[in-house]
């Protein structure tokens, strides 16, 4: 049993794949959380530009 535990402790194949998967998951979560805020800001900017253009035309 002790040999099995030592063998598993030294066996690190696939560790990089798990690290990249965790990194990708973290980036995805950050993007999901920030995209709605960016969208709301862009809507505000668009509305401001629309108001300025409407004032110039009228």
Domain count, the chain: 1
Q: Which spans in 1-58 are helix H?
A: 2-10, 15-57
Label residue 6 by pLDDT band (50, 70, 90): confident
- Residue 47 domain boundaries: 2-57
The predicted-structure confidence for 11-20, as pLDDT tens digits, reads as follows: 666 777 888 9
**Tokens of residue 54, six digits:** 């409407």
pTM (2 d.p.): 0.53
């Amino acid at each position: 049993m002790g040999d099995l535990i030592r063998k598993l402790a030294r066996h690190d194949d696939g560790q990089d794949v798990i690290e990249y998967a965790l990194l990708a998951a973290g980036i995805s979560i950050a993007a999901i959380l920030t995209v709605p805020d960016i969208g709301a800001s862009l809507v505000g900017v668009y509305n401001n530009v629309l108001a300025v253009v409407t004032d110039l035309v009228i």
